Structure formats: C-alpha cells, structure tokens
Amino acid sequence: MAHMLVSYPSTTVKCGGFSRGVPPWERRQSRAVGVVQCCSCSSTEEVGVFGKVENESQRSREIKEIDKNNNKENDKNKLDCLVSEFGWEVRRLVVEDDEMRRVAFLQAQAFHIPVFFFNDLFFDFFQAEVLSGLLYKLKNSPPDRYACLVAEPATNSSRESQGKLVGVVDVTVQRDAPVLQHLQGAQEYLYISGLAVSKSFRRRKIASVLLKACDMLAILWGYEYLVLRAYEEDLGAQKLYSKAGYRVVSGDPPWLSSWIGRKRRVLYIKQSNM
C-alpha cells in the first residue's frame, strides 16, 4: 500500500459553508419557501368547496415535493466535501468515465507489483482489473454501503494543481464475524481499503485527510467502528494509522507467512466520534 509518513495534528475540519467546529449535520438548514400560483378567473362565481379542497391539496403536495427535493440536495451537499485541510479536499467520486479511470490508475500505480519482463503490459492488465472492480462496486452497492472517496487540491489552490485527483480510498460496510468479535455490540462496521496517494504528491498529509474523511463518513452513516488492515512490516502505514487513532487488535496466524509465504497483516480498529 502507498502511504505517507505524516503527522496527524488536531485541527478543526472546515469545508465549504461548514461552520468552524460545527459538524455539517448540525448546521442550521434554511427551508425553501414554495410559492404556488393559482389560476385567476375573470368570472364572479365563487369557487366551490371541492375546488378549495383540491387547491389546498395540490398546494400541500407541491410544497412537500419542494421540501423533499431540498432534503435530497442537502444530503448531496453533505457528501460534496467531507473534509478540507492542509490544502486538500475530499469528496465522493463522481461517476463518470474519466474520473473513474484516474482513480483506477492511482490505485493500480500504488498496488501493482513490478515484474521483470513486460511490466507495462502487466500494469495495463492490472489497471483494467481495478477499473472493472470499481465499476462493479459502484453499480451493485447501495449509496450508503459503499463509497469511493477522492482527494484533490482545494478550490483556492494554485491553478496548475486544479482538477487533479491526488488520493483515493474505498469505504465499505462489512460484517465479518472474525472482525466483529473485536467490536463490542456492533453488528456492522466500515472497512477501509485501497488507500493510495499519487507518487507526485506523497508526504503532504493527503493520506491523513483521506482517513479523516472516512471518520466523517462513519458519523454521517451512523457506524461506530472503522476497520482496516496493513502489512506488519509496513512501518509507515503503522505510524500513519496510529496517529489517526487506530489500534492493533489482532494479526494473521504466523503459519500463513511461514507455510504459504504471504506477508502477515495486522487488524486495526478505531471507534468513531458518533
């Protein structure tokens, strides 16, 4: 995995119109006022009782529809920008061909294991596989069970860095029994995977901002625990996760590395600030 050796200072999350120190879900939201125009009539005849009831019912339905649309827009805005810190913003992936391909490239670049012969060809195959997996998850996962979060330069950053995706992480709702035994009273949790940062932008606190966005998503979705895994020998990842508030609770059995030759992984958990 690609990580940065970075500090994790205690800072206040602010993003867009979010008030400093106030979570986005506690912001005061303005209600839209629906104005319904009634048909005018040049006749002096009074409108009957049924006509009045019908107009009131229509007005009520239109106002409810406005409120419903506004609530949907407010929910969308909550995920437009989860965190903005250190000059980086994290939001949810936009489902479009170009952006998904950039995400697949970032993750393939971070997790591809180079080979001696035909490395470029194998990298292309691996990138295509990553893109295929991303498309499958986006198509088949409910919007509150999976999210691909991307980091990019903040809106007030330099022009040459605008529009670049510099980091990515996957967040998925899971319920594996071996993990749940470490999570008191939980039935599900958020599993973090695929954390990758562009080679040109490493060691600039992007991974820390991505992890903080995962914390925010856990609060918005209402999950108490966040879970991830890292290789035991990856000291950079261990330092990153420890500073982000994660703690080790278990690891793969030793025989996996001695008999199969696979790198040993350790399990990290964190309790969210719900």
Better-predicted residue by pLDDT, 273 or 122: 122
Higher pLDDT, 59 or 233: 233
What is the fold of 74-271?
A: Aminopeptidase (3.40.630)
Q: What is the pLDDT of residue 94?
A: 86
Asked if 87 contacts 152 with a C-beta cutoff of 8 angstroms, the reply is no
Res. 70: pLDDT tops 50: no
How far apart are alpha carbons 150 and 217 in whole angstroms?
13
The pLDDT of residue 177: 94
* CB-based contacts of 7, cutoff 8 Å, min separation 6: 205, 208, 243
Q: Are 171 and 191 in contact (CB under 8 A)?
A: yes
Q: Where are the domains of the chain?
A: 74-271
pLDDT in the model for residue 30: 38
pTM (2 decimals)? 0.69
The average confidence (pLDDT) of the chain is 77
* Bigger pLDDT: 44 vs 217: 217
Whether the pLDDT of residue 106 is over 90: the answer is yes
Q: Which of left, alpha, beta for 205 (phi over 0: left; psi -120 to 50: alpha)?
A: left
Residue-wise pLDDT tens digits, 181-228: 999 999 999 999 999 999 999 999 999 999 999 999 999 999 999 999
Percent of the chain clearing pLDDT 90 (strictly above): 54
At residue 61, the pLDDT reads 61
What pLDDT score does 64 carry? 54
Token pair belonging to 218: 């856990």
For the segment 92-112, the average pLDDT, to the nearest whole number, is 93
**6 — pLDDT class (breaks 50, 70, 90):** very low
Q: Is the pLDDT of residue 274 over 70?
A: no
Residues taking part in catalysis: 241
Q: Residue 178: what pLDDT?
A: 93
Any idea which of 58-67, 161-170, 188-197, 244-253 has the lowest mean pLDDT?
Answer: 58-67
Residue 273, pLDDT > 60, answer yes
- Output the six-digit token pair for 7: 């500090």
Q: What is the pLDDT of residues 130-176, one digit of tens each?
A: 999 999 999 999 999 999 999 999 876 655 555 689 999 999 999 99
* Cα–Cα dist 41/195, whole Å: 64
Q: What pLDDT sits at residue 254?
A: 77
What is the pLDDT, as a whole number, of residue 50?
44
Q: What is the pLDDT of residue 173?
A: 97
